[in-house]
Structure 1
Amino acid sequence: MSEPEQGNGIPRSGIDDGANRRLAPRPLNRPPVDSGQAAVFGRPQGVPGAFSADRPSLNGNGAVQFAPPPPEALSTAFGRPQGDPDTRLQRPPVDLNGEPEVEPVFWEGKPAGDAWRDPAASAVIGPPAVTEQPDTETKPESPAGPQLSIPELLFGRRVKPMALVLLMVAALLIGTGGGVVGWLLGRVGNPLTDGGVTLAEVKPGKERPVGSVADIAQRVTPSVVSIEFKGANVAGVGSGVVIDGEGYVLTNDHVVAPAVQDTSAKLTVVFTDGKRAVAQVVGRDSKTDLAVIKVEVDNPTVLQFGDSDALAVGDTVLAIGSPLSLSNTVTEGIVSALHRPVTAAGDNGGPQITYDAIQTDAAINPGNSGGALVDSSGALVGINSSIRTETGGSVGLGFAISGNYARKVSQALIRDGEVKHADMNINVRSASAETAEGAQVQNVPEGGAADAAGIEEGDVITRVGDRMVRNAAELTVAVRNHEIGETVPVVLARQGRELTVQVTLRSD
């Protein structure tokens, strides 16, 4: 059944017009304009064109300016032939005779069955592309072939079972014989495998956990150096600690004093890797037995200061230095006592040495002077300085200058080349009685700190600030723990009475 014709009488898809020609475009459908939308979106009343009134040439009120004509050469090359009445943009191709070629349609005489003839045609699911039906008759299954046996699978041909068994027995005998021969050869001439020898049990590789003595020694020893001095009349070895990346080394004053007093002597610093460098004295403090020297060296290992005030009796400490010229020597011990005042005579009639010491039983011998006393974390808490002995060797009574005080003195020596200490400007001696002990005042110079505070000769000082005073050396270290210009309370005994006076400390 054919569909009715529309508009200009051209049939829709599915109707053959007899000439297999292309169909004309579908007629336009222009629905009526809504008057409401026209009022909203239409041109205002009195505006004839799409452009504003100030452009009359574009509204049709004036002459429109067109582009200039193309050059004659371009018109001749690309324009239409002169006198050609065909004004279409695309002309149909022509054959050799000048007749227009008629392009055959692509549906090859089947206009009704081609869905692409009319884009408006609905999609139809047609039959499958394969029209021939396969033969569905059941074919008889072929019988399965014989399965391969193990001999056929291994050797590709049939093997007698007896031959296969004999082959396996021969392989087993050959393997057993080879193992026995190897075992016999391994035992010949090797006493370690003799059954009559008992070997000592060997445990796995030794571990060195963090915080062990081996771990601390490995990290700290590169920062502890040997100090050699040699001149025409003097020679010796001491120790030192690198405390700054610019090459500053902290040591004892009595280590460098011989080299300073003998102008022919030279100070040499020897590092753990064998590197040697000439040292120059930066500053000395003979009253506390501390000195700072400097060497020119690249990228030295610096030992960090710890808090010596946080130590407690019984804490583990390591003494590192060069005792008896044996460099990189590490000894272990504990803190035996804290705040132990130590005094010694000065070199060549110099001032008396007095410092607040950490007592340790770590082995300290001549040559350890100026070396490091480190805690269980590897931090510097003291500078090894002296021992107390009746035999000349270490008997477990070693003394190190407090690390906090050594840091204070070393900073002043690096900064100023010298150091000043707080002082009460009095002379005292140790005194003891049945009920008390302290430092008895022998002389009070006029104009000094003690004179200004009202301290008199014969007074016995028993406390300075928070620290108890039991002898003359303890008074000195107690005063030096304060700053110059600081006012501290001083407890003293005078004619059986206890008095407290405020003393403003001055420089020594």
Structure 2
Amino acid sequence: MSEPEQGNGTPRSGVDDGAHRRLAPRPLARPAVDPGQAAVFGRPRGVPGAFGADRPVLGGNGAVRLAPPPPEALATAFGRPDGDAGTRLQRPPLDLHGEPEVEPVFWEGRPAGDAWRDPGASAVIGPPAVTEEAPAEAEAAARPGPRLSVPELLFGRRVKPTALGLLLVVALLVGAAGGVVGWLLGRIGNPLTDGGVTLAEVKPAKERPVGSVADIAGRVTPSVVSIEFKGANVAGVGSGVVIDGAGYVLTNDHVVAPAVQDTSAKLTVVFTDGKRAVAQVVGRDAKTDLAVVKVDVENPTVLQFGDSDELAVGDTVLAIGSPLSLSNTVTEGIVSALHRPVTAAGENGGPQVTYDAIQTDAAINPGNSGGALVDSSGALVGINSSIRTETGGSVGLGFAITGNYARKISQALIREGQVKHAEMNVNVRSASAETAEGAQVQNVPEGGAAAAAGVEEGDVIIRVGDRLVRNAAELTVAVRDREIGETVPVVLVRQGRELTVQVTLRSD
């Protein structure tokens, strides 16, 4: 589209070939000068310059003082070349032959010159400065540029692979040299060390004879488990022994009692290999502090019962359990005493606990309860139950329920879920006098076994069958060791004389 023409359609001067219409410069307007203003502001008559001849010039010597000439070095560097009297301050660049480079006119061949470069060009009314980019140019602008290589990224410019490889080799050599120097300095700095020493070791493995503590522990430990109970208000850890392949675990009643009394609590059995299983209570016997729980597991390691009646004082025994929540703990000791009657208060107001115990100096601590006491053959001869201490820790006075009695109670719990004990139906207290030491009868309930046998209040029972009775607890364990309905001879002292009566035991 051609540019609009001026006024009457006739183009002004400055039009090139008719492709573009240019506006010629406007004529110079010179308005008339007011004579009054000229008289005030104009030069005086006969004064051609800025100052009159009658005025003193700068410097006072009749001539204008000029600045001193510049140093020759500055004149050479920044002055005009010799023979250049023009007014240009910028010299054109020179080519290799010393000739001035002539910049080509980039508008050559176009209908109109560049108004910004051509001082003789007039104003042009042209198209908008911003035009729509061609699709190809827009696509090229949107296309991402080339990505930086690793040398460019690391060094900011392109690096030859050989130079980079040489740099790596030099770095490796410097590092190796530093390491060697450090090693040498280390050897020199500490003369007591020897980096080349090799200590001798015994190649054959240690032989452990059959029946050693290590051998017994290796065979028995997998059958001893940890029993965890956790609820809203209770939490703790005890021990237990797997006594049957169907998953029956024997433990103490005081281990499972908190979980039974708190319905939110859950019993969990943890085996030595880390396997965990939820346990259910099969039966409890609060009077003897024994209980049986059952877990659903396959092929558990079962610990066999031994004959606790064959134990003798001084025999070696091992206590295995989870004292202070430390599972798979093995301690060694001896049998310190046999047939030691132990009495303890029941759980939460329950019946008094009384059982015939094996005393041992093997270390037993809280958490060992329900664990195994085994003999030198690895057979179960007791269930660890309690300790006697004044410090709260083990002082070598631990007690375990005899294995034979634990086997009898656990078998009854598995078969029937409950246990009945033999009973004389008599209330006694411990007594010690010059004439007798034993269990003194306080009262004899009517209709009981003792009343039927003729036992009277005040009698002191000193023997049940072939077992001595030295206190009330010993009478209880001596009677419970018998069967319900069994008739047993009972020796008592009445008014200083010994009497023997036949008592047919009844169920409690």
TM-score class, shorter: 0.5 to 0.7
Q: Distance in 2 between matches of 1:203 and 1:368?
A: 37
CA distance 1:193–1:280, change in 2 (3 Å):
same
In the other structure, the counterpart of 1:301 is 301
CA distance in 2, matches of 1:400, 1:464: 22
**Offset at residue 314 of structure 1 (A):** 0.4
Superposed displacement of residue 435, structure 1: 3.9
Shift, 1:241, TM fit: 0.2
Cα deviations by residue, 1:153-183 (Å, 9 ceiling, x for unpaired): xxxxxxxxxxxxxxxxxxxxxxxxxxxxxxx
> Can you list the C-alpha shifts for 1:471-490, whole angstroms capped at 9, x where unaligned?
00000000011100000000
| Offset, 1:191 | 3.3
**Cα distance in 2 between the residues matched to 1:450 and 1:203:** 70
In 2, the alpha carbon distance for the partners of 1:204 and 1:412 equals 49
CA RMSD of aligned residues (A): 1.9
Corresponding residue for 2:478?
Answer: 478
Which residue number in structure 1 is paired with residue 330 of structure 2?
Answer: 330
Give structure 1 stretches of 5+ with no counterpart: 1-188
In structure 2, give the amino acid aligned to 1:430. S
CA distance in 1, matches of 2:196, 2:265: 63
Letter in 2 for 1:506: R
- Matching residue of 2:194: 191
Deviations 1:46-99 (A, max 9, x none): xxxxxxxxxxxxxxxxxxxxxxxxxxxxxxxxxxxxxxxxxxxxxxxxxxxxxx
Q: 2: distance between equivalents of 1:355 and 1:200?
A: 55
How far apart are the structure 2 equivalents of 1:201 and 1:411? 51
Q: CA deviation at 1:436?
A: 2.5
Partner of 2:263: 263
Which residue matches 1:498? 498
Q: Contact 2:436 / 2:460 at 8 angstroms: preserved in 1?
A: no
- Show the counterpart of 2:159: none
Deviation above 4 Å: which 4+ runs of structure 1? 199-204
CA distance in 1, matches of 2:386, 2:286: 14
Supply the distance in 2 between the matched residues of 1:395 and 1:200 (Cα, whole angstroms): 41
Distance 1:454 1:492 in 2: 11
Match of residue 246 from structure 2: 246
SS at match of 2:419: coil
Q: Secondary structure at the match of 1:393?
A: coil
Confirm whether residue 392 of structure 1 aligns to residue 395 of structure 2: no
Q: Are 1:489 and 2:493 counterparts?
A: no
Q: CA deviation at 1:399?
A: 0.1
Q: Alignment partner of 1:191: what SS?
A: coil
Give the whole-Å Cα distance in 1 for the aligned partners of 2:496 and 2:413: 43
Letter in 1 for 2:256: V
| 2:409 alignment partner, SS class | helix
Structure-2 separation of matches of 1:446 and 1:310: 39
Question: Quick one: which amino acid aligns to residue 502 of structure 1?
Answer: Q
**1:212 corresponding residue in structure 2:** 212
For residues 415 and 217 of structure 1, what CA distance do their matches in structure 2 show?
30
Aligned counterparts of 1:303 and 1:267: Cα–Cα separation in 2: 21
Distance across 2 between alignment mates of 1:298 and 1:502: 49
Provide the residue aligned with 1:440 in structure 2. Answer: 440
Counterparts of 1:348 and 1:387 in 2: how far apart (Å)?
19
CA–CA distance in structure 1, aligned partners of residues 348 and 278 of structure 2: 25
Q: How does 1:71-470 map to 2 (within 5 A)?
A: 191=194, 202=202, 204-470=204-470
Give the unaligned 5+ runs of structure 2: 1-190
Q: Whole-Å Cα distance in 1 between the matches of residues 254 and 353 of structure 2?
A: 10
CA distance in 2, matches of 1:275, 1:441: 52
- Rounded Cα–Cα distance in structure 1 between residues aligned with 2:230 and 2:205: 44
Structure 1 CA distance, aligned partners of 2:410 and 2:301? 18
SS of the residue 1:491 aligns to: strand
The letter of the residue matching 2:194 is P
Q: Deviations over 1:316-355 (max 9, x none)?
A: 0000000000000000000000000000000111110000
Name the counterpart of 1:114. none
How far apart are the structure 2 equivalents of 1:393 and 1:435?
Answer: 39
Deviation at 1:396, TM superposition (A): 0.3
Query: How many equivalent pairs are there?
Result: 319
The DSSP-based 3-state class of the residue aligned with 2:474 is helix
How far apart are 1:379 and its partner, in Å?
0.3
Alpha-carbon distance in structure 2 between the residues aligned to 1:272 and 1:418: 29
